[in-house]
């Protein structure tokens, strides 16, 4: 294991290269690109606390993407033996890594299932920076967002009132669970059997200067301003509009209903 520092725009790994190391981001942000027929395509950003590059190392396959520094980045590197001993073999690092891994498994499993059910929405999900590994602190330069509970007779009795500012992206929403490793969420929803809310249900995300809701392959789907997104919808994402946006977790009769207020900042 050693530490490496990269400056903005420096290439860390290249698509097609043999994988020698896995990486842990101690500070900074990296961007992940793939080659397409239309040129370079941004598919992910990883931030402080994220791992990347480990799957190629484990599977002994060429890198699937190019990774470059977006900001000044400090990385810890692990060869395969070091990754097994110092990440998988150490409780604190393992607990930091497993939510990363399970979120990727959730995405890939959902993509595979949706390849058959709704191929068009798979492309929409995959091309909209779907591979965030877990939420990170990132204050918006362009807008403020706030999520609040709706009190209109639908609200669940056992769910505390929500009124909080969204200041990290993705901002993950999911069902409260005894496990802290299977899904990493910023807003936990109390939801008894039969569950309306999935363990990893949806998230609020930021793409450039746009803000959207992304369904995380939930069982019952998500409704945003009357539009169904998820496996039963035409898309996995819905862009938020200026002002108040209605968010329903599950079907239209779900008790888990929220208002997301988007206020764009002015010069």
Cα–Cα distance between 112 and 245 in angstroms, integer? Answer: 30
pLDDT means per 10 residues, the chain with 267 residues, are 91 92 92 81 80 85 90 94 88 81 69 56 46 44 85 54 86 82 81 88 85 89 94 85 96 94 80
Which residue in 89, 99, 68, 78 sits closest to 24, CA to CA? 78
pLDDT at 146: 94
Cα–Cα distance between 239 and 83 in angstroms, integer? Answer: 38
End-to-end CA distance of the chain: 46
pLDDT at 26: 93
Ramachandran region of residue 232, left (φ > 0), alpha (ψ -120 to 50) or beta?
alpha
Are 33 and 41 in contact by the 8 Å Cβ rule? The answer is: yes
Counting other chains too, the contacts that 238-246 makes at CB distance below 8 Å and 24 or more residues apart are 238/212, 238/213, 239/210, 239/211, 239/212, 240/145, 240/204, 240/211, 240/212, 240/213, 245/213, 246/150
């Amino acid at each position: 294991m050693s530490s490496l520092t990269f400056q903005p725009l420096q290439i860390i790994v290249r698509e097609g290269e043999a994988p020698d190391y896995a990486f842990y981001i101690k500070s900074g942000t990296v961007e992940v690109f793939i080659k397409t027929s239309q040129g370079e395509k941004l598919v992910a950003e990883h931030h402080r606390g994220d791992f990347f590059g480990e799957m190629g190392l484990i599977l002994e396959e060429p890198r699937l993407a190019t990774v470059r520094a977006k900001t000044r980045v400090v990385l810890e590197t692990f060869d395969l033996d070091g990754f097994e001993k110092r990440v998988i073999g150490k409780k604190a690092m393992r607990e930091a890594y497993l939510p990363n891994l399970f979120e990727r498994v959730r995405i890939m499993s959902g993509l595979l299932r949706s390849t058959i059910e709704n191929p068009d929405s798979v492309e929409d999900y995959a091309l909209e920076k779907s591979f965030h590994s877990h939420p990170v602190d990132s204050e918006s330069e362009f807008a403020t967002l706030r999520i609040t509970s709706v009190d209109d007779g639908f609200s669940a009795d056992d769910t505390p009132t929500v009124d909080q500012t969204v200041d990290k992206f993705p901002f993950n929403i999911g069902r409260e669970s005894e496990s802290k490793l299977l899904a990493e969420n910023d807003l936990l929803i109390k939801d008894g059997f039969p569950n309306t809310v999935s363990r990893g249900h949806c998230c609020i995300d930021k793409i450039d200067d746009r803000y959207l809701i992304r369904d995380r392959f939930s069982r019952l789907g998500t409704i945003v301003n009357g539009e169904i997104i998820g496996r039963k919808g035409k898309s996995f994402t819905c862009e938020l509009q200026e002002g108040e946006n209605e968010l329903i977790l599950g079907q239209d009769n779900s008790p888990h209903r929220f208002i997301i207020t988007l206020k764009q900042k002015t010069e």
